[in-house]
Every structure is written in C-alpha cells, then in structure tokens.
Amino acid sequence: MNKKYKVGIVGATGAVGQELISLLHDRNFPMESLALLASSRSAGKTISYKDKTFVVEEAKPESFDKLDIAIFSAGASVSKILVPEAAKRGCIAIDNSSAFRMDPEVPLIVPEVNPHALAGHKNIIANPNCTTAISLMALCPLHREFGLKRFFASTYQAVSGTGVAAMEELKSQLKAFVEGRQPEAKVYPYQIAFNVIPHVDVFLEDGYTKEEKKMLNETRKIMELPELQNSTTCVRVPVMRAHSVSINAEFERPVSVGRAREVIAQFPGVEICDDVENKKYPMPLFYQKKVKCGVGRIRRDAIFENGLAFWVAGDQLWKGAALNAVQIAELLASKD
C-alpha cells in the first residue's frame, strides 16, 4: 500500500493557500488528512472545496506534532518562527517565503531543474521566488545545451503576486474608472489600473530591489552557477494573474534558435508557443491555471555574440508558488 501523508497548509486563507488546497486534491496527492492553518484571526473559519469542508485552525508550534508535511505560504515573518518548529517535530516544511532560500543548509528546489538537491534535507525545503521559478523553466534547458554565462531580465508581474487585496484593488479601480470615479490606491503606492509600477519589493542601497536581487541569488543557487551574472528590473503591471519575463541571455557556446526551440520543447513543465507569423506567443491571459510555462519570441540576441532573446509566461500562483510546492511534496513522496 502506498503511504499517505498528514498534510498541513500554513496560510490557507491566502491566495496561494487556496491554490494549494485545490492542487493537492486535483493532482491526487496521497493525503491521509489535510489541516488548514492560519493566524488566530482566521481560526474557526470554514473553507469548502468540492464536497469537503475544513475548519481553519490557528497555526501553533504544536500544530506540527501530528503532520508529516507542512506547506508554508504565510510570509517570511511567520516562517522564521514556525518552520523550525515544524522541522524539529519531524514535519517536513516546504516554505514559500524568502526566509530560508539562501540558507546553505536548506535546499532551494525547482523539481524539473535540481531534484538532486533535495537529498540530505533537514526537514526544511525552500520554494524559489515566482519570477525565478518561471524564468528557469526556459533558462535551465538552454543552459544545459549552451552554457549560461549572464542574462538581463525585465519582469511583468501580475497583481496576484501581491495577494488577494491587490487583486481586489485592481478590480475596484477598474470599476471606478468605468463609473467615472477617482480610483483609490491602498495596496500599491500608485494606481495600478492603466499603469505600470517599476517597483516590486523594497529598494536596497545599490538601487535594486530585493525582488530583483532574488533573481540573481536564487538562480545562482538553484543552477549551481556561483559566478553567474544578472541584472533584473521588476515591474508590476495591471494583469490579474500570471507573470511574464523578457530575457536576453549570453551563453558560453554558439547558439542556434532551432536547437533552442528543441531543447525547451523537450524540457518538462514548459512548452514552445512561438509562431509570430500567426501572432502566437505566450501571454498571461492564456497561462492562468496552467501547469506548463510558455516560451516564445525566441531569436538571436542583437548584442550578445552567443545570445538569445526570448519571452516566458507562467502562472506565478502555480509554478511560481503553489504548484512548485506541491511538486516538491510529490518528489518527496516518490522517494519515500
């Protein structure tokens, strides 16, 4: 008989938590039970999924005594407190926050890219940032073929990356515009409807944001390329769901657009959507709630000698967060 797991979701009432509930069920993860955990403010609320109803419990250290796997999506401040508590109680913690990503003792995993790094984990496994995970679905197969040297990236990040409140704010601003009222901005420093904001996360002394540095540091760790160079600009756009990334990459070896398409098409979790004559390219509208990320606009880079320019789109609530976490749990189960 296959083993079944007692699973918990920390941050179950948030946008990613809701996706985790559906993905665990729809992908038939072998669960004996599912506990929904959140802050004390949410304790006692009920969440229904199909014919099942769950009562949300307050997330406490002792909550993990009865769990085998806990997936965290409640922010770094919560993870820093509760993830070590889960780990020391024998519960494997898969953490969506940035709290442990750069800890050398914690594997940072994209299952299609570095499943081998899961070996020897100490009950804590980190999930990468959303734009990193989506970008690597194209960069990894290209690196294996041509040898990645450096890359520039510009991100086009949907409001769902900020959470439910940001999604509601975009809806309310659009409604206000249609009704002739002045839109209100509360979640973001400026109106996001009909606008783009070149500011995601907090600014650092060098002018980059934490989000932009995550692309460099996390890619270096996941790809095991400590000398990799990168410069990224992260931009919030008025899209409800699914991120897009424009990438210009330089490689060690001569590149071929045809071969690039071949290796990407053969890589799990990604697909080619690249037929410009028929106006086919990846767009967030068509990559919402889709397991695979899409890669298109593949062409030789006009600056780099061995360079490629391309565009990637993927659902950051899925591959950038919930789906990747569930895939890590699936990988654990397959090795158990």
DSSP H helices in the chain: 15-26, 76-88, 130-146, 164-178, 210-223, 257-265, 323-335
What per-residue confidence (pLDDT) applies to 170? 98
Picking from 230, 268, 221, 225, the residue whose alpha carbon sits closest to that of residue 250 is: 230
Active-site position among 91, 121, 140, 243: 243
Active-site position among 91, 121, 130, 273: 130
What per-residue confidence (pLDDT) applies to 288? 96
Cα(331)–Cα(333) distance, rounded to whole angstroms? 5
Token look-up 């889960």 returns 86
Q: If pLDDT is split at 50, 70 and 90, which confidence band does 314 have?
A: very high
pTM of the model: 0.94
Superfamily of domain 5-127+321-335: NAD(P)-binding Rossmann-like Domain (3.40.50.720)
Question: Between helices 257-265 and 130-146, what is the axis angle to 10°?
Answer: 120
Q: Which CATH number fits domain 132-316: 3.40.50.1110, 3.30.360.10, 3.40.640.10, 3.30.70.3270?
A: 3.30.360.10
10, 78 Cβ separation under 8 angstroms: yes
What's the mean per-residue pLDDT of the chain?
Answer: 96
Mean pLDDT, residues 158-170 taken together: 95
Annotated domain spans of the chain: 5-127+321-335, 132-316
Is 273 a known active-site residue? Answer: no
Q: If pLDDT is split at 50, 70 and 90, which confidence band does 1 have?
A: very low
Mean pLDDT, residues 97-125 taken together: 97
Q: If pLDDT is split at 50, 70 and 90, which confidence band does 5 have?
A: very high
293, 314 Cβ separation under 8 angstroms: yes
Cα(245)–Cα(154) distance, rounded to whole angstroms? 6
Q: Render pLDDT for 181-211 as a digit per residue (tens, 0 to 9).
A: 999 999 999 999 999 999 999 999 999 999 9
Q: Render pLDDT for 79-93 as a digit per residue (tens, 0 to 9).
A: 999 999 999 999 999
Output DSSP code: residue 286: G
- Residues in the chain, how many? 336
Is 121 a known active-site residue? Answer: no
